[in-house]
Structure 1
Amino acid sequence: MPKSNLKKFRGSRTCGGGTHKNRRGAGSRGGRGNAGGCKHHFQREMMRGRAMGKNGFFKHNAREVEIVNVGDLDSMAVEGGRIDLGKKKVLGKGKLTRPVTVSAAGFSAVAREKIEEAGGEVVVS
């Protein structure tokens, strides 16, 4: 059975580091943990499948907004031609064939134009 490192270096001043400062601290191994993953240990990290970096765009203050197109408003209109969409935004895709009053959180310029062309009314809530 081979001798353990603990016993092998017992009584040794440098534990196999020679007479210089070898084997002192993390500098001898190029840093601690994932240090140098993008620099001096890049090849090693790639082979282990841990290549670092970012790609693509990231919106920091993005919020999801529910949308409704102008083309859907015809089928949504109740008696009296009034539609309340709450916190949704109306976009301008499609055609509107009858006048409706639409209440929503926001309207695109094209949607506002199409609703008013059909004789309807836009109410921002």
Structure 2
Amino acid sequence: MKLKRKKKSSRYRGSQSAKRGRKARTRGSGNQGGKGWAGTGKRGDQKKTLVIKLTGGNNYFGKSRTLRRGTVPAKLDSINIKQVIINLPSLIQQGKAKENKGSYEVDLDGYKVLGDGEIKEKLTVKASAFSASAREKIEEAGGKIILIGKSGEKSE
């Protein structure tokens, strides 16, 4: 007796919807409602272009960004006071520092100044951020602190 074989097409391997119309209907989570930006529909990547557009680039996807989702504050480079003093001659050469009557004016835009080291010179330091100990040491030596904001505006 000849056996009746099942057609291969009835197994639906490799089919995303397995002949149930579309992914969302049988997958739980209420058709993915309330699950953030998870895409639904037969073509699951359909929301990717929207996500890339809304986050301003492809920094939404991937393991390393699972909690951040594209809103990461810019990290400032840090520099210690002792490094500033050691490198004063080269900073003057580069045009990032000026000498004014026994004091120095140093422009460290994009840096956070940390308080490791000792100061004997008067410094007027312009930087994006200062640690509490750096503030204290600069002001004790008779210097000034000038904070530079995001768009370059200065505030004392």
What is the TM-score normalised by the length of structure 2?
0.43
Aligned length: 83
2:79 to 58, 65, 68: 68
1:79 matches 2:66: no
Deviations 1:103-122 (A, max 9, x none): 11111111111111111110
SS of the aligned residue for 2:122 comes to coil
1:107 matches 2:140: no
2:12 to 25, 41, 47: 25
Aligned-CA RMSD value? 3.3
Q: Distance in 1 between matches of 2:125 and 2:77?
A: 15
Alignment of 1:1-125 (within 5 A): 12-15=4-7, 24-26=11-13, 60=68, 61-75=72-86, 76=88, 78-80=98-100, 81-125=104-148
Max Rg structure = 1
Higher relative contact order (CA 8 A, sep 6+): 1
**Which structure shows the bigger proportion of residues in strand conformation?**
2
Q: Distance in 2 between matches of 1:15 and 1:92?
A: 76
SS of the aligned residue for 1:86 comes to strand
- AA matched with 2:141: A
Deviations 1:64-109 (A, max 9, x none): 3112111122232541211111221111111112111101111111
How far residue 24 of structure 1 moved from its aligned partner, in angstroms, is 2.5
- Contact 1:93/1:111 (8 A) holds in 2: yes
> Using a 3 Å threshold, how does the CA distance of structure 1 residues 115 and 58 change in structure 2: closer, same or farther?
farther
SS of the aligned residue for 2:83 comes to helix
> Using a 3 Å threshold, how does the CA distance of structure 1 residues 58 and 66 change in structure 2: closer, same or farther?
farther
4+ runs of 1 displaced by more than 6 Å?
A: 56-59
Structure 2 gap segments, 5+ residues each: 19-62, 89-96, 149-156
User: Structure 1 vs Structure 2: percent identity of aligned residues?
Assistant: 36
Deviations 1:27-57 (A, max 9, x none): 9xxx9xxxxxxxxxxxxxxxxxxxxxx7x99
How far residue 13 of structure 1 moved from its aligned partner, in angstroms, is 4.1
